[in-house]
Structure 1
């Protein structure tokens, strides 16, 4: 069957979940690329104030991550994902009323809390919907659904704003908000409640103490910070690097990022299916080597003549997409399989802290290093990712066998 070849688990609600993620990502794709411009044009706020407000909102929501893990273990992931989508919908509706910095911070906190809760509970729900041995391809397929939604949303936004002007900004923001309410409703009615099991040991319900005692998993989180930083630098740094350092038109960055997204969308399930014979840790190391190569190739773009640098940067950016297509589903499957069932919510929320930390660090890291030397952000990222890849190799023997290997590998 086609669904089996694609990697869709044969459980009730999985196809609906794919549609829900597509709708969620479609709305996000509509708003996210023009979010700074929205507040600058519609709310008439200076870009510096917008950046500060969004950073403040992000920092305040970091403690939400471990709290979400506790709530997932207690109440189940599905309820938390629905709550997260409703909260984001309310926040984005509030964006329609923003006219000053304090109101922007308040609404952004709503949105960011929703995002933190979503990403800290989403992987637990996705894990519940897939059986053992299905999770690598399942996470890859989910990533593809989200990437396609983001890509279509991004493409539609440019058309709507160009055609409708100010009303286009309001339109994409309103549709984004409604997409979250629609996704929450579909999740409530069409995805069944997961078979949530309470821990038999009261100790596991009290705190993160067992997570903090799991040193191999903590090391896995630490290495993933480097991966997340490196992956975050592409969308964040490429537009600035292209225009200020390489002196090429901004449309080049747009084309490069679009093709990057296409690589992830169309190759992710294919790559994961053909890499299943490798240990998950080795697959992550391959992704790390590709990311290191991508960073070095970006540095080599600096001395190239302008006529060559445009096609060069477009092609090289696809190398990053290839690495992300390999890393994202594999790392999430590894974290899920390394998590004890009774504490999976806490474990996966702790793993998502690596992304929260990277999102906070990436803007400062890039801007400070870039101001010193345009090649420096990519050089530091390359060093960090190679160290993280080496650490992943040394962590491997200390992780559970069922985490680093698929069931077929264990049987053989």
Structure 2
């Protein structure tokens, strides 16, 4: 049967098999350094949809043999598109297979790390909101928390929570950085916006929350500091509700509940709280929230993830010790190919791959750039059964069942 991942993808995979057969893996954690990854073995390609194919694989890492799953998408195929999978708000989460089915995707993986627990902050509920930026259908949904507030393994040098993998309107995938460029303006004053639908507002800043946030409490936004996630919640906080461009209320209590359409809730801490206290009921306020990319490119889809591979070389400083179940996404052929990769859940037995090994595996299967995404119990890869149309979980999730997640990378076929 002819592969449906496209001629370009078939060539890339054929080249990969030649490398794998020889047991040679390029890359490492730095110049002259190599990881223990060896003998990546790819199974036969299984068609998912025109331009999209699935393969199982196995790899021998430093902690033993690991099974994995790989989906390859040819972005030059006019039928293929990529978008964010979401439950509808940034502070909710559901199993990935439900998002795939609800949005009509043909394949998907879980995406960014998220605020899954708050054991340090007594009485503060986790928000389920992701660490980094998110763009869906060309619309910015959220910005990134401060680096010190992130969940997940340590960031490699030179990276930040603002790093994303995404696809532009030119249908090319790329790694980039998305920064919040927002403001709050009145007739007599103006100040920068420090947060946008994110679970942590920078110290002294003001964050904006829209209906896309959901109904989870916004209290977590004023907890921790820019460098210490577990630091105490600020005792100097204030929030203001703006509806149809005018202030309708203010409160020293940070609230919860759904935000009405046409409304924005501003939450400030320390100096940001002072700025909000100065606003008066009925005052006209303009809130601007937008994300800008370092490259200047516009994204139709983007999601947070920390880079592990650039220009075919692993980033320096990647962890070489801790092995775990991983999820990753890679880019090949100058942005024309997108790779989604997930490992089987086996963290309980000490197996899995290190972050450095994940970079090498991405390199081996054909990627020249890639990011590490949320792993462990979140790692899930789903493809549509071509016969029934039902979503099928391809990997074996840690713990035996899907963990609900707040977002994923979805592949679509028109």
Q: TM-score range by the shorter chain?
A: under 0.3
Normalized per residue, which structure has more helix?
1
The answer to which structure has the higher strand fraction is: 2
